[in-house]
């Protein structure tokens, strides 16, 4: 994006300098009266201003479009990251639940032989 704006800035600077040099050469070479020359300068300055305004507007439009594209890409990347994070969290919760279940089963297995043996121990003893 910065390459495009620097290229456009160089183009705009060259355009403006070329316009000014062209106007100066035209003034020096023109066989006109002072009044005609002033009128010509006024017209050319209006044209140059219009051209510069139009070029600046086009540049602004391009920059806005590039910014919008960048914003869309960032939003899409953020949504993907959020979805992946939610998926990872879901997997982690499932694994934690599985581990809890396995640990409860292990505790039940450990307690189960003790409860069976303790009545027998009481009957025998």
Mean pLDDT of the chain: 82
pLDDT at residue 118, as a whole number: 52
Per-residue pLDDT band for 120 (boundaries 50, 70, 90) equals: low
Query: Has residue 115 been placed in a domain?
Result: no
Q: How far apart are CA 21 and CA 39, in angstroms?
A: 18
pLDDT at residue 71, as a whole number: 95
pLDDT at residue 109, as a whole number: 85
Query: Has residue 101 been placed in a domain?
Result: no
Q: Which helix (H) or strand (E) holds 125?
A: none
Query: Has residue 25 been placed in a domain?
Result: yes
Q: Which two tokens stand for residue 69?
A: 């594209």
Q: What is the pTM of this model?
A: 0.45
pLDDT at residue 116, as a whole number: 52
Q: Which domain holds residue 83?
A: 2-93
Domain count, the chain: 1
DSSP state of 31: -
Query: Has residue 106 been placed in a domain?
Result: no
Question: 36: how many CB neighbours lie within 10 A of its CB?
Answer: 11
Query: Has residue 123 been placed in a domain?
Result: no
Q: Which two tokens stand for residue 91?
A: 């997997």
Query: Has residue 122 been placed in a domain?
Result: no
Report pLDDT digits (tens) over 13-70. 888 888 888 877 777 776 767 787 788 878 888 888 888 888 888 989 999 999 999 9
- Cβ atoms of 22 and 51 within 8 Å: the answer is no
pLDDT at residue 117, as a whole number: 53
Query: Has residue 118 been placed in a domain?
Result: no
Query: Has residue 14 been placed in a domain?
Result: yes
pLDDT at residue 67, as a whole number: 93
Q: Is the pLDDT at 125 greater than 50, yes or no?
A: no
């Amino acid at each position: 994006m910065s390459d495009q704006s620097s290229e456009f800035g160089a183009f705009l600077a060259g355009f403006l300098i070329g316009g000014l040099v062209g106007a100066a050469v035209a003034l020096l070479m023109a066989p006109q009266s002072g009044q005609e020359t002033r009128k010509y300068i006024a017209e050319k300055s209006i044209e140059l201003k219009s051209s510069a305004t139009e070029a600046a507007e086009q540049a602004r439009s391009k920059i806005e479009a590039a910014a919008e594209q960048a914003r869309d890409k960032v939003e899409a990347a953020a949504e993907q990251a959020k979805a992946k994070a939610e998926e990872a969290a879901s997997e982690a919760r499932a694994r934690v639940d599985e581990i809890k279940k396995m640990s409860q089963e292990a505790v039940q297995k450990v307690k189960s032989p003790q409860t069976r043996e303790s009545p027998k121990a009481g009957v025998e003893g």
